Amino acid sequence: MIIQKLIVKHKILILCGDWNINFLQTNPHTREKNNMLLRYNLEHIVNVPTRITKTTATLLDVVIINEKKSINSLKVMDLRLSDHYAQMLSIPISEFSNIPYRI
């Protein structure tokens, strides 16, 4: 599995997207996904609804990481461009600041 290969190489892993599973509920699907995350020492860091309608509030859009310290901040925002809210992730790039570059 690609996740296992990245973790073994000690790479920072960030998984984002619409998984179409409501992580605010507890059911066989969420238990299965949460067990998979635990197995690979991954953490789901969005904990608020990412899709809100007149009758529902669901957490379908995820940001999953393997190193919480690699995240400065996470915001969930309604940009009014979709029926799903956007997630804005801020990550430090200081490790890249010493890389030479040419103009």
Phi-psi region of 80 (alpha: psi -120 to 50; beta: other; left: phi over 0): left
pLDDT tens for 15-74 read 999 999 999 999 999 999 999 999 988 999 999 999 999 999 999 999 999 887 778 899
Rounded to two decimals, the pTM is 0.78
Quick one: tokens of 92? 């430090």
Quick one: tokens of 98? 């010493």
What pLDDT was estimated at residue 97? 57
The answer to whether residue 101 sits within a structural domain is no
The answer to whether residue 71 sits within a structural domain is yes
The answer to whether residue 76 sits within a structural domain is yes
pLDDT exceeds cutoff 50 at 85: yes
Q: Domain containing 85 — which CATH number?
A: 3.60.10.10
Number of domains forming the structure of the chain: 1
